[in-house]
Amino acid sequence: MTALLFSLSIILFFSLAKGLHTPKSCDETERGSTLQVFHVNSPCSPFRSKTPLSWQDTVLQMQSNDKARLQYLSSLVAGRSIAPIASGRVVTQNPTYIVRAKIGTPAQTLLVAVDTSNDAAWFPCNGCVGCSSTTFDSAKSSTFKPLPCGSPQCNQVPNPNCGGTTCGFNLTYGSSSVAATLVKDNITLAADSIPNYTFGCVGKATGGSTPAQGLLGLGRGPLSLLSQTGSLYQSTFSYCLPSYKSVGFTGSLRLGPNSQPKRIKTTQLLKNPRRSSFYYVNLMAIRVGKRVVSIPPSAFAFDPNTGAGTVFDSGTVFSSLVKPAYTAVRDEFRRRMGKATFSSLGGFDTCYSVPITVPTITFMFSGMNVTLPQDNFIIRSSAGTTSCLAMAAAPEGNVNSVLNVIASFQQQNHRILIDVPNSKLGVARESCS
Ligand SMILES: *[C@@H]1O[C@H](CO)[C@@H](O)[C@H](O)[C@H]1NC(C)=O
Ligand SMILES: *[C@@H]1O[C@H](CO)[C@@H](O)[C@H](O)[C@H]1NC(C)=O
Ligand SMILES: *[C@@H]1O[C@H](CO)[C@@H](O)[C@H](O)[C@H]1NC(C)=O
Ligand SMILES: *[C@@H]1O[C@H](CO)[C@@H](O)[C@H](O)[C@H]1NC(C)=O
C-alpha cells in the first residue's frame, strides 16, 4: 500500500540512518512482556505490498482505507453493529501494524494485526478456505479445545451457529464473509504464556478481499485480551508505533503494568458503556502555533448516547476531526502559510508544492497538551516537492460526523500508555522508528 512512498524514502532514509542506527532484526528474541511492532509494509512484514504504487496513489490508498475504517468506527459508536469477538473491518481492510503471536503447544508463530479499537481475536486455522497466509494447525496443538455451544463465551459471538456441538459463527461485511469456530488454546506473547485464551478459528473466508492474517484486539470490552488476562496485565499496556517510512525499525507493545513510563503526561480515559472497547479521551481545544483556534465545544463533547467524542485509534492512519474542528484548524494553518498557493490531494485539501515553514499543532486534552512534531502532521512526498496537512474532516453522513479520531500518523514515535484501572491515557515522545 505504501510501497513506493516507502521505497522512495529508503534512499533518503538510509543516507540519514547510516551510522546512526543499526536496523533491528525482524526476529529479535522478545523478552518479558514486550513485543516488537512492525508496520505492515516493513521488510519484516509478509503482508507488505508487492506492487509499488506512486506516492500519490499511496496516499490515496491510505485515505480510502481510512474512509472505510472511519465508517466502520462510526457504525460501532452509533451502536449499529454488535461484534464482540470478530468484526467486519478486518475482512475488508488491511491492517497497519502487526505483532507476533504464538499459539498452541508447541507454539506456532503467526504475525497478526493489532487494533486498539477492537476486542476481536481470531486467527486463520489449518484448512481454511480463502485464507491466504500462514495458518494455525490446531491438530498439532496439545492444548487446543473447541468451545461447546453451551459455553458462556458462545453467547457473545455474532450469529452463533450451533448446528454441531461446537460454537460456530459467521460474519458478514459488505460482500465478504468469514466462518469461524470459537476455540481456546494457549497464546504466548513475548515470554508470557496465557492458557485457555478464547478466540475465533477461521475456517472459511469468502468475498472481495479475504483476510490475510489474524487479529489481536487491544480494546477493553468483554472477551478482549485485556479482559481475559485480568491479573497478568491488569488492563495496562503501552505502545510506540514506528513510522510508516522507516525501514527495518520496529516499535514496541509493552503489556502489563511493569516497566511502564512513570513520568508521562496523562489525560483522563473516558468510558462509553455503549461502546466498551473504545479508548475515549476529552479533547478540549486545538492550538495552531500560539493561537487556540475557535471551535464550538459541541465539536468535542463526549456523548455516550450518540458515540460523539474523541478516541485514540491505531487502525486509522490520518486523524479525522469533525467538520467545524477540522475547518478551523485548516483555516488557521492556511492563514499562517500566507500567500503560498495550496492544492488538494484526495482527501487532503491543504497541500503545498513550495517549501513551507509550518506552525506547530497542539492537541489540548484535559490535563495534557500534546504538541506534535512536524513529522506527525505533515506528509511529504519523498522528493520533498509536495507537503500536505495530514489530517482530514470526518466523512459526511448522518452517523459519520460525530467522532474525532487521533490516528496512527499522529501517534508515530510517541509512547501511548493505556492504564484502564487508573482511567488514564498517557503520551510521551519516543523515537521508536
Ligand atoms: C500451555 O499451557 C499449559 C498449562 O495450561 C502449559 O503446561 C504449557 O506449557 C503451555 N504451553 C506453552 C507453549 O506455553
Ligand atoms: C456459515 O458459513 C458456512 C461456510 O460458508 C456455511 O456452510 C453455513 O451455512 C453458514 N451458516 C450460517 C448460519 O449462515
Ligand atoms: C484450562 O482449561 C482446562 C479445561 O479445558 C482446565 O482443566 C485447566 O485447568 C485450565 N487451565 C488454566 C490454567 O486455567
Ligand atoms: C495547555 O496550554 C494552555 C495554553 O495554550 C495552558 O493554558 C494550559 O495550562 C496548558 N495545559 C496543561 C495541562 O499544561
115 is catalytic: yes
Q: Which three cell numbers stand for residue 102?
A: 504464538
Give the per-residue pLDDT at 24: 60
Provide residues with CB under 6 Å of ligand 2.
161, 170, 179, 204
Q: Which domains does the chain have, with CATH numbers?
A: 19-50+84-255 (2.40.70.10), 265-429 (2.40.70.10)
Q: Using a 6 Å cutoff on CB, does residue 287 contact ligand 4?
A: yes
Å from CA of 264 to ligand 4 middle:
16
Q: Using a 6 Å cutoff on CB, does residue 40 contact ligand 4?
A: no
Mean pLDDT by 10 residues, the chain (433 residues): 36 32 66 89 76 77 78 66 34 69 96 85 88 87 94 83 84 67 95 95 73 80 88 96 77 94 95 87 97 96 91 91 96 94 92 91 98 94 87 74 91 96 97 81
Contacts for 50 with CB less than 8 Å, ≥ 6 apart: 3
Three-state DSSP class for residue 271 = coil
Q: Which atom of ligand 2 is nearest to the CA of 159?
A: 13
Q: How many other β-carbons are positioned within 10 Å of the β-carbon of residue 123? A: 29
Give the per-residue pLDDT at 207: 65
Three-state DSSP class for residue 26 = coil
Per residue, the 3-state secondary structure of 43-99, as one string, reads CCCCCCCCCCCCHHHHHHHHHHHHHHHHHHHHHHHCCCCCCCCCCCHHHHCCCCEEE
313 is catalytic: yes
Give the per-residue pLDDT at 82: 34
Q: Which of 102, 140, 193, 228 to mutate to test the pocket of ligand 1 (most atoms within 8 A of CB)?
A: 193
Give the per-residue pLDDT at 30: 86
